[in-house]
Chain A
Amino acid sequence: MAIIERPAPTASILLRAPVTPSQSMGIVRRPVTSTGWKSWVFTVDHKKIGIMYGVFAMFFFIVGGVEALLIRLQLATPDGKILSADLYNQMFTMHATTMIFLFAMPMAAAFANYFLPLQLGARDVAFPRLNALGLWLLVSGGLILNASWFLGGAADGGWFMYSPNSGPVFSPSNGVDFWTLGVQIAGFGSLIGSINLIVTILNMRAPGMTLMKMPVFCWMILVVQFLLVFSLPVITVALVLLTFQRSFGATFFDVAQGADPLLWQHLFWIFGHPEVYVLILPAFGIISEVLPTFSRKPLFGYPFVVFSGASIGLVGFGVWSHHMFATGLGPISVAAFSIATMAIAIPTGVKIFNWTLTMWGGKIWYSTAMKFAIGLIVLFTIGGLSGVTHAVAPSDTQQTDTYYIVAHFHYVLFGGMVFGLFSGFYYWWPKVFGKMLNEKLGGWNFWLMVIGMNMTFGPMHILGLQGQPRRMYVWTEARAGEGLFNFGFWNRVSSLGSLILAIGVLLFLINVVHTTRKGKPAPLDPWDARTLEWITTSPPKEHNFDRIPVVHHLDDFFHRKYQEDATTGAMVQIATGEQLVRDEEANADAHIHLPSPSYWPIAIAIGVGTLGMGVVYGVPIMIVGVLIILGSSFGFVLEPSVADDIDYDPPMSGGQETKELAPLG
């Protein structure tokens, strides 16, 4: 993910402030540079933070992908020798943890951070410094998680880390400690980010943009952030209990003392099931933008898509025990959770229906973004159907802990979430970087990923129904079975598929490099898009909009370009995107307020990371961490969100780049 910045058009009204450091708390000089690495590390600009989320997530997508390839290589042959049993356990644990906490959630956060303010018609998020804090806490958590590889081995209990297997007796290395602390800190960052984004969506909309005129992407992000706000504290409790057990000798999951290890499973899945929707709903939001744009039609049944998304979120809090059907919950619990789980298929079906009817009768433009969106509809439906078979408890009891489960969640997560995110890459790349990704390479990228993904995960249905347990580190020829259902054959197909999938992803990276070097500058409105992020330059200026748009319609940008012809009823173009952008530039606001950069978010995150390491390496390090947190919190609170005039050299005359923001922001 190279970072390209096109020079801002000279028509910009914003003169950059003369930049030299200044003072904050009277001790440290405040960062005010707008170029170089400091402008990234101390930034509070939601667009830069979004790009950093994206770079971070893409890096860990590759890390998690390599881990997945090692797993598939190990299973490609009987009696695989690539990984030891222990290393295999670490590999699948870290593959899942990395993909979920360090790729999927951060990538969704990247899109949310970058595009929410743009789609809402705002100049930044509600709490820009908290936004930066969320990012750096995530980085801190990600580093701690992966530091375990070099400090005695990674966690090996599977991503749901069931107790008592995760206790000190069965997992003696520090891997699980790093895992709990890393997830805890990343989760803390996520919680801060979600509060920030909810307030942003509710409070920072452009004039006239009622909630029901808001793009579906914003709606889905809103639902996701609510899920995070109310589910992350639950995993926090679970992780605290586990940390206290492992580091301080508490007895929470000690069966000898009469503990109920199922407590962990409940706490984990009360978080874990809403988390599943946290992963998929941003992708749903993205394709709800892509499908109408490339079908040249408004989204079919906008309110239904919105409310089905919200009801998926709400019902998602009442189904967690379907992950625990095999634990002996008793018939009443199983029946209740089974029915609730099946109920979720209804709003999901509504969405699939609406997307399909959005395309129906449209003039479809098969761009790469559109291909990925259609891919999502098809592949997610397959994964959704196998999901319904898990909702049926007797059937689930057969499938629990087999490869059938692995097949299911890779169809919904890879076929659903990842395809949605890739659709977003192709759709929004010109907006973020000002250059078009190559469509021809994009086509190869798409088809290799479709073929690779179906070859990798399709056979897992058969393997699972034949009884291959998930997390089995070797299979043997003698027990592989015969004929069509031979383990060996389908495992080889799956491993071959994973290579094709990897080549597909590699093509995307090549496309990025190619585009960065040789890509053509993107037109201002390459897709004839519908929403407000396209009413500014690409990449957007630091202040996003030259004047804050006033919204009259859902898809306001589209309605500024097209008007209904009174006689024929057809939509007739009255302006181009370029004209609209030039028009905005000509009528720019005189005073624009932007928050100033700050040292404190990253300083607090360093303190939290130090505190986390202290849990493993001793109280003195913890104390250092607490002191850093305390000191930088004071810096954070005492710092005005805008740099004082005196912070500039020569001092500014005032009014040029001032802004006012929330004191705790």
Chain B
Amino acid sequence: MNATATDTHEQHDSHAPGLSDATAIKIALILAAMTALEVSTYYVDFGAFFMPVLMVLMVVKFFTVVSYFMHLKFEHQMFKLLFYTGLGLALFVYFVALATFKFFS
């Protein structure tokens, strides 16, 4: 127990190195490209793919920022638990509430 404890302690007492600046810029470029693709749906008719494309891009952008810019991917499980519990509960209660208004049908 003591060994584990010390281990945990050392891991987190100091600061994360963070993303390298180069990686951060690459990710930002990818995000920019995805935004451009999103905006293009305004000019080009995507037909049946319109909604799925926008939804997928939105979700991918969301988790890219959370995982890399907010660094959550590399953080302790505890932080993931705290944030994703909030996110998960929000999705659950609001989807159910909107469903009772027959929003999705």
What residues of chain A have their CB less than 8 Å away from a CB belonging to chain B?
A: 202, 226, 229-230, 234, 260, 262-263, 266-267, 270, 317-318, 320-321, 329-330, 333
Contacts and interface: CB of A to CB of B under 8 A. Distances in A.
20 contacts: A202-B78, A226-B85, A229-B86, A230-B85, A230-B86, A234-B93, A260-B101, A263-B101, A266-B97, A267-B97, A270-B97, A317-B89, A317-B92, A318-B93, A321-B96, A321-B100, A329-B100, A330-B100, A333-B99, A333-B100
Nearest to B102: A330
Nearest to B99: A333
A533 B86 CA distance: 32
Q: Which of B85, B93, B99 has the most CB of A within 10 A?
A: B93
B101 A270 contact: no
A272 to B, nearest CB: 12
B66 to A, nearest CB: 18
Interface string B68-105: 00000000001000000110010011001101110000
A263 B101 CA distance: 9
Nearest to A198: B82
Contacts of B96: 318, 321
A270 B89 CA distance: 10
Complex A-B, nearest 4 residue pairs according to Cβ-Cβ distance, in ascending order: A266-B97, A270-B93, A333-B100, A230-B89
Contacts of B89: 230, 317
Contacts of B97: 266-267, 270
Contacts of B101: 260, 262-263
Nearest to A267: B97
A329 to B, nearest CB: 5
Given A266-B97, A318-B96, 10 more contacts: A230-B86, A230-B89, A234-B93, A262-B101, A266-B100, A270-B97, A317-B89, A320-B93, A329-B100, A333-B100
Interface residues of B, number: 11
A260 B96 CA distance: 16
A452 B89 CA distance: 40
A317 B90 CA distance: 10
A281 to B, nearest CB: 17
A652 B93 CA distance: 55
Nearest to A202: B78
Nearest to A270: B93
A333 B89 CA distance: 18
Contacts of A229: 86
B90 to A, nearest CB: 8
A263 B85 CA distance: 23
Contacts of A226: 85
Q: Which of A229, A270, A330 has the most CB of B within 10 A?
A: A270
Contacts of B93: 234, 270, 317-318, 320
A260 B97 CA distance: 12
A318 B95 CA distance: 12
Nearest to B86: A230
A269 to B, nearest CB: 10
A105 B89 CA distance: 22
Contacts of A234: 93
A262 B103 CA distance: 13
A577 B46 CA distance: 76
Nearest to A226: B85
A318 B99 CA distance: 14
Nearest to A321: B100
Contacts of A333: 99-100
Contacts of B78: 202
A318 B93 CA distance: 7
Contacts of B99: 333
Contacts of B100: 266, 321, 329-330, 333
A323 B70 CA distance: 38
Q: Which of A266, A318, A329 has the most CB of B within 10 A?
A: A266
Contacts of B86: 229-230
B12 to A, nearest CB: 11
A266 B101 CA distance: 10
A160 to B, nearest CB: 16
A266 B95 CA distance: 12
A199 to B, nearest CB: 10
Nearest to B94: A270
Nearest to A320: B93
Contacts of A330: 100
Nearest to A330: B100
A226 B86 CA distance: 10
Contacts of A270: 93, 97
A329 B89 CA distance: 21
A262 to B, nearest CB: 7
B69 to A, nearest CB: 21
A321 B89 CA distance: 15
B50 to A, nearest CB: 26
Q: Which of B85, B96, B101 has the most CB of A within 10 A?
A: B96
Contacts of A263: 101
Contacts of A317: 89, 92-93
Q: Which of B78, B85, B86, B97 has the most CB of A within 10 A?
A: B97
A230 B92 CA distance: 12
A320 B89 CA distance: 13
B35 to A, nearest CB: 28
B41 to A, nearest CB: 28
A630 to B, nearest CB: 27
B36 to A, nearest CB: 32
Interface in B31-77: none
A183 B86 CA distance: 22
A238 to B, nearest CB: 12
A355 to B, nearest CB: 28
B89 to A, nearest CB: 5
B62 to A, nearest CB: 18
Contacts of B85: 226, 230
A267 B101 CA distance: 13
A225 to B, nearest CB: 12
A318 B88 CA distance: 12
